[in-house]
Structure 1
Amino acid sequence: MRRIKYFMLTCVTVGCMALTGGCQGARGEGVAKEKSEESVITEASRDEKGIGKEEIVIVDQLGKEIVLDGVPERVATTIMPFPYIYYAVVGNSDHLIACNPSSLLAYEDSALKYMYPELAHANTEFVDTSFVVNIEELLKLEPEVVFQWNYMEEEIAKMEAAGIKVVALQYGTLEDLETWIRIIGKMFDKEKRAEELIAYFHDSVGEVTEKIDTLSLEDYKNILIMSDNLKVNGSGFYEYYVGKSGAVNPAQDLSGEALNVNMEQIYQWNPDIIYIGNFTSMQPSDIVGNKLEGQDWSVLDAVAKGQVYKIPIGGYRWDPPGVETPLMVKWLAKIQHPQLFEDLDMRKEVSDFYKEVYGFELTEAMLDEILNDTQDF
């Protein structure tokens, strides 16, 4: 709780975010239902179960207003990282009734399965991994609201034509993540909780950037983030944690993700460190052991020094922006600048984070699952 107390003393400009106990106290039925002044749900509007009954108005990332009759009890999402962000804000809940099948694939490999067993029962038959919805299957679930990507315009129109309320979300930036957290917070009467999470996020990352700011750009590491074999991520993706951790992406002149490149280009970049994303089955040993047919990785500095890592899975994959991005920033900084972060114990950081953010105590075996599979050679 040290960081939370520190934030209360130093970040008063955020306003009214009484963090003491906040990140741990948002779990269970006994959670205090304190709200910001902007909340449209009043204590008088609650029934005996504590569920809000007055209208809730959400503005999504298409600028569209969605009016709900109260806190929804039947929620579906096509968006893969949504369940663990939902859990961080809301806690254990049977209200998330359906999700993307890819979410449950990640769930089985993640720490979320220990914290949120209810999610295992979520329906995945209504949507495929490309976010296309089967309306007939979705209607059977009788959702009160569905979350969908903002660029899936035809899918949104299809659901709305069937009388389903849809909240459109946008992916990519830290600001987008904060918007997700605030939308979830407002929808589920957790606005104070949402602001606590956002404040904790910035406070935690700030511990890293305070040290990174002492470096010159010449000290930054040249890192390559691979989404799959000979596919890299360029500018516009993950720039936040690359810069915050004291690194530069040699593919930053390219725009987009999962961009096809050849070995000649990778030789030219010659990265200090290679990170392999968690949306691919490719492992560090495939590169270090030169197991990829027709490719010779042995001449790269990163390979010669054994600096090839698999990005971890915590509550979800650490690749995209999420509530565990502060851990991603710290993990990267520790690898890239070991002397500067000599005192940074990632096992303790992850353990403390889970206690403070999720109110959950990881076992040593669970910590091993998160951190020990990053190198397999």
Structure 2
Amino acid sequence: MKKVVSVLLALMMALSIAACASTAGTEPTPPSGQSASPSGNASPSQTPDSTGPRTITDMAGKEVTIPATVNKIADAWFAHNEIAVMLGADSKIVATAMNEKTYPWLYLVGPGLSNALSTFGTDFNLEELVQKSPDIVFCSTSDKNIEKLQSMGIPVVQLMFTSFDEMRKCVTLTGDILGGDAVAKAAAYNDYLSGKLESIKAVTDKIAAADRPKVLHVTSLSPLQVDGSDTIIDDWINVAGGVNAAASVKSNMQQVTMEQVIAWNPDVIIVGGNAGNSETLAKDPNWASIAAVQKGQVYQNPAGAFLWDRYGAEEALQIQWAAKTINPDLFKDLDIASEAKSFYKTFLNYDLTDDQVQKILTAQKP
């Protein structure tokens, strides 16, 4: 009898030890709806299911629910197409405001664009766009087709910036929406832009207000249009050490009279990359009395994958070109051709030849 009791006691002890061992190092199963993780680090804006939709706030302050993965893009803002291409999304663009005839450099560095539908603007075709089934539509906050786009039931993300601070936010937001490698590419671009802004402003911030040249940026010769304040153009003029001669005029591409230009009497005139020929302006007798013409300081703005002066990724090159153009004595060692080559290789994954660089610097097509 004693032997039987001893065997039973030994068996019970063995079972108890085995039970303890089976539960060692494991967390208890949480109640339904609670996380097994004790950290509690997830923010309210995060979606526990990483494959589900997510909500972002666009640059119009609107909350927009977008897919976890964005594979097909429609981009209605001309300038933003270059940012999307820079972030590696040219093959994702199924509809674009661009066309190869007008922007051949962009199609050269972003060959995936060749498969995209050219629409938006005056050629906007809602039915054709719907057939492309984009996951998301990018557009500027001033786009006249926003309501039509929203009627599609496809997420519409509105974008806009008038300063370099806002531009960096736009690039970051775009990278976050695209996901994957685009996040790191956006951060790298913003670091480059910030570095160039800092190095240029370290020089130009020392220029007294009275010594800053008056700069006029012409966006069209006929009709005569200029860029005023509250624009990225106004921002890069100031960064480069100038003052916007048309600062009294607000916004982009504002029509003005020759009398206004004569009254402003700019020291430097920059003709936009698609605004017309700078030589035409310089030889026009109507402009002959203006200081910039008399001093031979009328310049053609470079234009590459997009217009350097207008809201695209090449704003990072524009600030350098503008600084050297407006204040050449302060930036003698700045080699714009070399910077352009390096930029295209690093951010647009394209090796420019010397001939191609010169064409971009003089706003010529490939």
Shorter chain as normaliser: what TM range?
A: 0.7 to 0.9
Q: What is residue 214 of structure 1 aligned with on the other side?
A: 206
Percent identity (aligned): 27
Q: Aligned match of 1:174 in 164, 168, 174?
A: 164
Q: 1:373 to 1:77 in 2, by over 3 A?
A: closer
Specify the SS of the correspondent of 1:136: helix
User: What is the alpha-carbon distance in structure 1 between the residues aligned to residue 292 and residue 303 of structure 2?
Assistant: 22
| Partner of residue 128, structure 1 | 121
Say if 2:133 is the partner of 1:142.
yes
How far apart, CA to CA, are the structure 2 residues paired with 1:41 and 1:123?
A: 33
Q: Please list every run of 5 or more consecutive structure 1 residues that lacks an aligned counterpart in the other structure.
A: 1-36, 46-52
Does the C-alpha gap of structure 1 residues 324 and 267 become closer, same or farther in structure 2, counting only changes over 3 Å? Answer: same
Query: Does the 8 A contact of 1:98 with 1:123 survive in 2?
Result: yes
Cα distance change, pair 156–297 in 1 and its aligned pair in 2 (3 A): closer
Q: Cα offset for 1:266?
A: 2.0
Alignment correspondent of 1:251? 246
Checking the alignment, whether the CA contact within 8 Å between 1:177 and 1:322 is kept in structure 2 is: no
Contact 1:241-1:329 at 8 Å conserved across structures: yes
Structure with bigger helix share is: 2
Distance 2:136 2:89 in 1: 18
Map 1:1-377 → 2, pairs under 5 A: 53-89=51-87, 91=88, 93-101=90-98, 104-108=100-104, 110=105, 112-125=106-119, 127-129=120-122, 133-152=124-143, 155-189=145-179, 190-229=182-221, 230-237=224-231, 238-280=233-275, 282-290=276-284, 296-373=286-363
Counterparts in 2 of 1:162 and 1:321: CA distance versus 1, 3 Å:
closer
8 Å contact 1:201–1:323 — kept in the other structure? no
The number of equivalent residue pairs is 317
Matched to 2:189, the amino acid is L
Residues in 2 aligned to 1:136 and 1:92: alpha-carbon distance in whole angstroms? 23
Cα deviation, 1:153-203, whole Å, max 9, x if unaligned, reads 7x3333333322211222433233223212221112132332222122110
The separation in 1 between residues aligned to 2:86 and 2:46, in whole angstroms, is 21
Say whether the 8 Å CA contact 2:229–2:250 is kept in structure 1.
yes
Shift of 1:92: 5.4
Larger Rg: 1 or 2?
A: 2
Deviation at 1:284, TM superposition (A): 1.0
Q: Is the 8 A contact 1:106 1:317 kept in 2?
A: no
Q: Quick check: 76-85 or 262-271, which moved more?
A: 262-271
Q: Secondary structure at the match of 1:368?
A: helix
Shift in Å, 1:316: 0.6
Deviation (angstroms), 1:40: 6.4
**1:7 alignment partner in structure 2:** none
TM-score by structure 1 length?
0.77
CA contact (8 A) 2:215 2:269 kept: yes
SS at match of 2:94: strand
The AA in structure 1 aligned to 2:121 is: D
- Structure 2 residue runs without a partner (length 5+): 1-41
Output the CA distance in 2 between the equivalents of 1:174 and 1:69. 28
With normalisation by structure 2, the TM-score equals 0.79
Cα gap change, 1:358 to 1:162, in 2 (>3 Å): closer
Query: What do residues 28-59 of structure 1 show as CA deviations (whole Å, max 9, x unaligned)?
Result: xxxxxxxxx999699x96xxxxxxx4433322
RMSD: 2.6
- Contact kept, 8 Å, 1:56 with 1:187, in 2: the verdict is no
Cα shift at 1:69: 3.0
Relative to structure 1, the CA distance from residue 321 to residue 104 in structure 2 (aligned partners, 3 Å threshold; closer, same or farther) is: same
Equivalent AA in structure 2 for residue 284 of structure 1: S
- Once the two structures are TM-superposed, the CA of residue 242 in structure 1 deviates from its matched residue by 0.7
